[in-house]
Chain A
Amino acid sequence: MTIMKKLLASAVASALMVGGAQAEISNNTVKIGYLADMSGTYRDLSGPNGLKALEMAIADFGGTVKGAKIEIVTADDRNSPDVASSTVRRWLENDNVDMVAGLVASSVTIAATKVIEENDKLGLVNGSAASSITNEYCTPNHIHYTYDTYALSIGTPTAIVKEGGKTWYILTADYAFGHAMEADVTRVVEANGGEIVGSIRHPFPTPDFSSFILQAQASGADVIALANAGADTTNAITTAAEFGVTQSGQTIAGLVVFLSDVHALGTEAAQGLQLTTGWYWDMNDETREWSDRFMKETGARPTMVHAGIYSSTLQYLDAVEKTGSDDAQTVRKQMMDTPINDMFTKNGRIREDGRMVHDMYLAQVKTPEESSGEWDLYKILRTIPAEEAFRPLADSKCKLISSK
């Protein structure tokens, strides 16, 4: 049914092109819906500052695209898939929204992208972690931009094993997300010649990590990997700091850690933590220039998600301008054909499954002595090339790939 619709739509579109009629921007307005957690757990990761990043992108683009206005509507998803699904449905069906940005909690993103696919609009996913978003839940109507769990759980272990961290102990959140990451880490560590000496599962969520950290410490492993996220990760790191884990020579590898988490923890607690990030504000002049402007607006340094929102919005607007259309498929194709070279990444490209592949970075949190200020938090240890960082298409379960 939807395929028929799409075929028909593209047939009509190409007929128009052939006829020389100009492709159009509907209602002469490009309307962007920003859906994110504005009040809950993921507020710092994306939230109101992400909206600011979106507004900065629109302002930098010039405020209009091909003479069409650019409008923003926003909503708090409250981390609830039903709020997301009903809000996005209303935006697309009643309010003529062309593109949905933000999209943080994975459950919210999967619910929203289903609705976006039904309405054949476009979603630019920046906040979500789950790699399933471009795997079993992929649609021809969204792009996953900044990072995903595959990149995070592959990047850090590969790099650490290569750097000599041979024995591993894994602390896993006891639910699907944690299990998947544990499996990824195990595979990568073993493939690179490391060894898993033990693992323990903790309930989700866990406020007190002492017994788990003590066991990890007693295992004598070189590396303690945290296959969890959010508050569980920060709690585990705080506890590890109290027990002096890094000081006694063990490395802690955080799999899903953001700049906002490290900022909240402080260098005292988080020092020595190794993690993978898609972007860091203090990498080069371009990133610093943008981050300074961002900081002036918001009072905080941007996370990789904020940078991703900025970059992806510019890419989107650029594609709308080049094609003169806000039709989802036309714009997506244009975006796929255009390599991404901006302050976010160099030579990034969007694959047909909707995954934007780009270089990722292995970072280490600085010690209080090394850090020169509140936001001087990471040392970049090495670059993880795009080909290594993301799931190869050969392993993809995405319907857009297998249909070929």
Chain B
Amino acid sequence: MSDKKEPRIGVYVCHCGGNISGAVQCELVAKALKGLPNVTVTRTDESMCSDAGQSLIEQDIKELGIDRVVIGACAPMLHEQTFRGAVTRAGLNPFLYHHVGLREQDSWVHEHNKDAATEKALRLMSAGIAKARLLEPLDPIRLGAEKHALVIGGGVAGLRAALDIARQGLRVTLLEKSPFLGGRMAQLESVFPTEEDARKLLQDLIQKVVAHPNVTIFTQAEVTGVSGYVGNFEIQVQQHSRGVSDDNADTLMSACRQEVPNPFNYGLTKRKVIYRPYEGCYPSTPAVDWESYNGEPISFDGKQIILKDEPKSFGLNVGAVVVATGFDPYTPSQGEYGFGELPQVVTLPQLIRHLALSKDGKSLQWNGRAVRDVALIHCVGSRQVDGVHQPQEDGQVNNYCSRVCCTASLHATLELHKRYPQLNIYDLHQDIRTYGHGHEEYYRHALESGVRFVRYNGEEVPEVSAAPQGDSHPVLLKVKDMLTYGEELEIPVDLVVLAVGFMPRDLHGLDKMLKISRGNDRFLLEVHPKLRPVETAVNGVILAGTAQGPMNIQESLSAASAAAAKVASLLGRGKVELPPFVAAVDEEKCDGTGACVEACQYEDAIALQEFEENGRKVRRAVITPANCSGCGACVAVCPNNAINVQGWTLEQYEAMVDAIGMDMHELEVAA
């Protein structure tokens, strides 16, 4: 005979101030449920989440010996934690409580059918009670945590995240793959909507990060291996040599003859393979571009020196990882809007660098020729349409909006107008999406400045071709203008600027090492944009900035601060507490088939181990809770039902299904 104590269940039906009781006859539900097995008490209350409502539950636990609690109320997302708190305060394990959503999923969607809403509440609550009978006390997973975070990426998001984490008293190691900090923001001159100097803002941030005693920075450094779990990740890092030192850098740079297209200026200029990307960069010591260096000897002090990269490897032990790896601007394919075929077709990032490089002059020059007419085309590489645009490598088009390019284009347009007022500017767009605070002003100013807006249809994109010989302009644009009911326009221009979108970066296996997922758009995926923003499905791996999708600088900074707050709350106490909803093995049922190990996609979450029992060797699955995501892929494949996700077991679901499927008269009889 089992000595297991029969559960004593307390059932509470909330009126939610009329929100539930307006459709559900709560008293009737409570009365009917009272007769179900193991239900000790049922109560209704105007507002269970109020102090009085919570006290009622606490009192029943203490005075009536209630050891399972079922509450029918608003969505669990809103008050599950509130009631867990109440249950805990009364001395009960917080996981011996089950929440049933009776508002969003019943009373609010069946307002005009009260009998049906009441019957549905009865069935849903019965299902909750059926689950509650099978609940077991659970303990959160508690792990020691290194008070040390790793931030991958030294762009504006990584820098902000590093500084915010450091200010919370945690140690931070910042890794940057390139030799210099700053990322994409360093390539900008001014930022919208404040029109501040981008470089100055960035330098202020870099100075604060560099000066903070809690931050250690490694440039030219990449992650080569990851193991462990939240609170205790072991990270392998490889750092390349800088190649030159402060003592010899400038001499070697002058003597170096090898030049390559300068990626900082998107190939518009050339630079040496020993380089600083811009004046005032950090670190100020030049670095060798090892990918481009051809091994040619360089004269120094009467000798011929061959530069050598001698990478060093080291390990880090960190509690959390912030991925701030940024984005790449979309590179149009050969011939897309004439790109790569017509020298007068450039991208918006190229135009921004071109404007930065040509501060003087009364007219905009391109390829030694004055530009009189310029056209910007929006949505290049964004909002692509199947069958119209060339798919990306994975066979899909970029159907997402890159969000930033509309304001960025208008920002550039106004800069062009300010510097070259005589310039004729055409803006070809699908829609203008100036969604941010102060962004619509750019559109208004552009209209007032005489910029001519043409609206094209995404399925009939503008055509860009070389103008016929002898034309006054080198390029001819053909576009159907939806603002004039499809009028076909021909616009001769000297320069075409493609407002390219954001592309997810090739992370060279970093995402695989960290076991984080990508979404349909190939950007890194957060668990949920509203419920768990910036978190990935891997505990302790947090996202910051444009690695997870198109964002402007303001949004990247907000995301970075959110990531830092998440890290600080995770590691601040030196230990982490995770929900207990992970797989657990029933030792009596497990006979070591290994099906679970095969089904699991999470490294080191589950393994087969050999044990000696009564003189014979047995194999069983063993879970490492910190590495388990709780998805349950192992549950479905176990032939012995020997594995379950704690708090969400198959048996509990079966019991809930039985309660839902039960004939109504069974409940009525019980009542």
The answer on A and B forming one complex is: no
State the A residues within 8 Å of B (CB).
none
